[in-house]
Amino acid sequence: MENLKKIFIQNEYILSKENSKAVEFKKEEDIIYLLPTKDLCAVIHPKRVENSKPLRNRSNGITHSTAFTLFPKKQHTGQQPIQYGYSFKFISEKELDAFLNSIDQL
């Protein structure tokens, strides 16, 4: 996990919050959550993805979690709305680094 945090920092993201469910990174107006699962997965703010066709096409779909505290909520399977974002899965740290490096152009 420490190597992944370094990749975000090298790409000018600031670690702003961390808990057992997600690590929150900010860069200007972008917010990305890194999920500490066995899959290499990052979640991006819905507005950012919905306004970018290349990001929508690259996304693995919507992910819900109360850990995404800075994301909007919408109704999912529970009684109350829950925060959501678009997930992006990566095969390697190198692929994550390239994605973070290119996200400003998407």
Q: What is the CATH number of the domain that holds 26?
A: 3.90.1150.40
Q: What beta strand segments (E) does the chain contain?
A: 14-18, 23-27, 30-36, 40-44, 61-64, 73-74, 82-90
| Residue 46 maps to a domain | yes
| Residue 22 maps to a domain | yes
Query: Total domain count for the chain?
Result: 1
pLDDT attached to residue 96: 94
Using the predicted structure, report yes or no on whether residue 11 has a pLDDT greater than 90: yes
Using the predicted structure, report yes or no on whether residue 2 has a pLDDT greater than 90: no
Statement: the pTM of the whole predicted model exceeds 0.85:
yes
Q: Quote the domain boundaries for residue 71.
A: 2-101
User: What percent of the chain stands above pLDDT 90?
Assistant: 75
Using the predicted structure, report yes or no on whether residue 67 has a pLDDT greater than 90: yes
- Name the 3-class secondary structure at 55: helix
Using the predicted structure, report yes or no on whether residue 104 has a pLDDT greater than 80: no
| Residue 106 maps to a domain | no
